[in-house]
């Protein structure tokens, strides 16, 4: 048993080197340089081999654990995606309900002399907007970062195009409905009445908002990248933390608006003193910080084929 154990741990080569060393010492009372070198080489080779084996045994559980964790993460991601997809399917089912509501809107507006809707239909619209809650969905096999509601966006677009009497639309629908986190990318809302609407957290990137009436509207933390706000009325609007990168401000009414912490990178404006105008003339909340963080330079714009005052970071 001792011989077997020694052979197992020491190896045949090291065992032979030790035996030769002992035999040589017994015969000559000394060990030659070659025998010593052979013994040391065998010893180093064996220790290295044992060390690698021990290292492999030590790394094996860790490797298996890492692999297992990666499998669990992949499984959890799949489960999460399935959950969001199920939610997205449930939300999409609300499109059928919206179809019925929009059909009833069309019927009432065609058959009635006024451009107002019945109380029952208004209640259905308000309830539907609140039921269409934001969710995450897959784009190119990846879940979008933040929840958003495409259905709310589609509902709002249709309502804006329905030519409902403006005051009735604002007082009975916009003020009571929930249009936060609406997906409104690339939409054309030219001349739309959006007074008092709450579009906090919505995505209106590349939208046409020319000539809109958005008095007292709230766009807090909304994405307004590259939106066209020419001739828009944003008086008393809340734009806190909104991303207006690349937006167009031309003859835009910003009286009493809140512009705290808005992002203005590459925003196009209609005057070189626009920042100081916001700060000194309009005295907007947050304008002082904008004046300190940004500057205006005349930059050539391919869109306008001319040099345009553009807001840049200092």
Tell me: the pLDDT tens digits for 220-239?
999 999 999 999 999 999 99
pLDDT for res 69: 72
Cα separation, 263 vs 275, in Å, equals 13
Share of the chain above pLDDT 70, in %: 72
Cα separation, 313 vs 245, in Å, equals 11
pLDDT for res 127: 94
Per-domain residue ranges for the chain? 7-68, 184-314
pLDDT for res 144: 86
| Helices 12-28 and 33-111: angle between axes, nearest 10 degrees | 160
Rounded to the nearest integer, the mean pLDDT of the chain is 85
* Six token digits for residue 172: 């009975």
Contacts 24+ apart (CB under 8 A), 265-269: 265/311, 265/312, 265/313, 266/310, 266/311, 266/312, 267/310, 267/311, 268/301, 268/304, 268/308, 268/309, 268/310, 268/311, 269/296, 269/308, 269/309, 269/310, 269/311
Which range among 49-53, 118-122, 238-242 shows the weakest confidence by mean pLDDT?
49-53
Buried b (16+ CB within 10 A) or exposed e, 175-196: eebbbbbbbbbebebeebbbbb
Residue 136 — very low, low, confident or very high, per pLDDT cuts 50/70/90?
confident
| CB contact at 8 A, 221 and 200 | yes
> Yes or no: is domain 184-314 CATH 2.160.20.80?
yes
Cα separation, 312 vs 267, in Å, equals 8
pLDDT for res 55: 47
Residue 70 predicted with pLDDT over 80: no
| CB contact at 8 A, 202 and 183 | yes
């Amino acid at each position: 048993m001792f011989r077997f154990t020694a052979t197992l741990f020491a190896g045949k080569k090291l065992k032979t080197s030790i035996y030769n060393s002992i035999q040589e010492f017994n015969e000559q009372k000394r060990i030659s340089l070659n025998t010593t070198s052979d013994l040391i080489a065998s010893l180093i080779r064996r220790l290295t081999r044992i060390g690698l084996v021990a290292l492999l045994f030590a790394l094996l559980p860790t490797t298996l654990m890492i692999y297992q964790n990666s499998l669990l993460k992949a499984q959890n991601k799949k489960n999460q995606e399935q959950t969001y997809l199920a939610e997205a399917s449930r939300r999409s089912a609300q499109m059928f309900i919206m179809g019925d509501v929009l059909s009833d809107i069309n019927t009432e507006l065609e058959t009635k002399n006024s451009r107002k809707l019945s109380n029952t239909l208004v209640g259905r619209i308000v309830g539907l907007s609140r039921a269409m809650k934001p969710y995450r969905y897959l784009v190119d096999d990846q879940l979008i970062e933040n929840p958003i509601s495409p259905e709310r966006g589609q509902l709002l677009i249709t309502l804006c195009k329905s030519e409902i009497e403006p005051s009735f639309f604002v007082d009975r629908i916009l003020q009571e409905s929930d249009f936060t986190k609406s997906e409104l990318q690339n939409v054309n809302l030219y001349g739309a009445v959006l007074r008092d609407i709450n579009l906090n957290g919505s995505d209106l990137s590349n939208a046409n908002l020319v000539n809109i009436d958005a008095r007292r509207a709230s766009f807090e933390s909304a994405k307004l990248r590259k939106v066209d706000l020419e001739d828009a009325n944003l008086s008393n609007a809340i734009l806190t933390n909104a991303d207006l990168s690349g937006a167009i401000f031309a003859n835009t009414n910003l009286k009493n608006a809140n512009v705290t912490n808005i992002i203005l990178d590459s925003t196009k404006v209609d005057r070189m003193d626009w920042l100081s105008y916001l700060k000194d003339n309009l005295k907007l909340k947050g304008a002082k910080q904008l004046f300190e963080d940004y500057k205006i330079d005349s930059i050539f714009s391919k869109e306008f084929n001319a040099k345009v005052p553009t807001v840049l970071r200092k």
